[in-house]
Amino acid sequence: MNQNMFDIIKLGGSIITDKHEYKQLKTEILRDICNVIATWNKNIIIVHGAGSFGHILAKKHSIISGYTDSTQLEGLTDIRIDVNELSQSIVKTLKNQGKPAIAFQTSALVFDENEETNPSFFVEPLKKALTIGLIPVLSGDVLFTNEKDFTIYSGDSLINLLVQEFDVDRVIFITDVDGLMVKDSKLDGIERLSSLPLNDLREIEIADYSKKDLADVTGTMKGKVETILSIGQFVNQVVVVNGNDPERISKVLRREPTICTIVEGEKSTKR
Ligand code: IPE
């Protein structure tokens, strides 16, 4: 494998924050996860969700609808302050583990010209940071757009952009679930997908979505599958692992078997 390839690690908002309580950081879990990441000697980019540092105020101020009135601006300012604080907590935790990281503001690098094409992306600062050995830390953000003036931009959407700009080996989603869960037709329960090619995930999407069979364990499972279907074309592997057990992350990084979902991407077939 090419040593210059990157891994992207997504720290989901629900694993590093308590999503129900405004600005509630899960300090110990974040420290344990960063501990594991610090042992990893490969080029990495970290993308984190906003969790309760973003979603609560975003909902309150209807940020996703775009600009409607000036009262939203206070919300926008507060979200930026809060997400910045969360990014800096991650940077500081990594620094305490001896890993030099630097936070980048997503909305200062990405701009949505129109909804049909990929947003424009000023990627050079990230590339430079990486070449000198820094770990870039980015997040979901309130993005400026031409059409709506601003909107919510998820960390997953950002990853979709990053995999098209960088030579990415794996995208590792650190979440609070054991992997991608689907309904088990035989047992009438829920089962975890352990390892599968991207194409099989497409099948599951078609078969199970249309019949609404794919377990709605959380509202975001569907969105996650859609994200994986998109980024899986550009990377070798997409992994979904539960960050509540950092040993699993450690095993994923070392490519040892553990409880997670591994989707084999289609990067090699694209060359
Ligand atoms: C959301 O980012 C960004 C804001 C609400 C500002 P994500 O969608 O990636 O966050 P999580 O992982 O769901 O918390």
Ligand 1 pocket check for 54: Cβ under 6 Å: yes
Query: How far apart (Å, rounded) are the C-alpha atoms in residues 225 and 193?
Result: 12
For the CA of 83, the closest atom of ligand 1 is 6
Q: Are 243 and 174 in contact (CB under 8 A)?
A: yes
Question: What 3-state DSSP class applies to 84?
Answer: helix
Ramachandran region of residue 45, left (φ > 0), alpha (ψ -120 to 50) or beta? Answer: beta
In percent, the amount of the chain with pLDDT more than 70 equals 90
175-210 per-position pLDDT tens digit: 999 998 887 666 667 788 999 999 998 887 534 433
pLDDT mean across residues, the chain: 90
Q: For the CA atoms of 153, 141, 7, 202, what is the dihedral angle to 10 degrees?
A: -20
Question: What 3-state DSSP class applies to 122?
Answer: coil
Ligand 1 centroid from CA 178, angstroms? 20
50-105 per-position pLDDT tens digit: 999 999 999 999 999 999 999 999 999 999 999 999 999 999 999 999 999 999 99
Reported confidence tier of residue 3, pLDDT bands at 50, 70, 90: low
Helices and strands (DSSP H and E) totals, the chain: 12, 14
Question: What domains lie within the chain, and their CATH numbers?
Answer: 6-270 (3.40.1160.10)
Task: Enter the tokens of residue 268.
Answer: 């090699």
Q: Which mutation among 52, 83, 154, 157 tests ligand 1's pocket best, with the greatest number of atoms within 8 A of CB?
A: 154
pLDDT confidence of residue 211: 34
Ligand 1 pocket check for 160: Cβ under 6 Å: no
Q: Which mutation among 9, 47, 53, 55 tests ligand 1's pocket best, with the greatest number of atoms within 8 A of CB?
A: 55
Which range (8-12, 147-151, 224-228) has the least confidence? 224-228
**Strand pairing class (189-192; 6-11):** unpaired
Q: Is the predicted pLDDT of residue 165 greater than 70, yes or no?
A: yes
109-147 per-position pLDDT tens digit: 999 998 888 899 999 999 999 999 999 999 999 999 999
The closest of 196, 200, 267 to 235, measured between CA atoms, is: 267
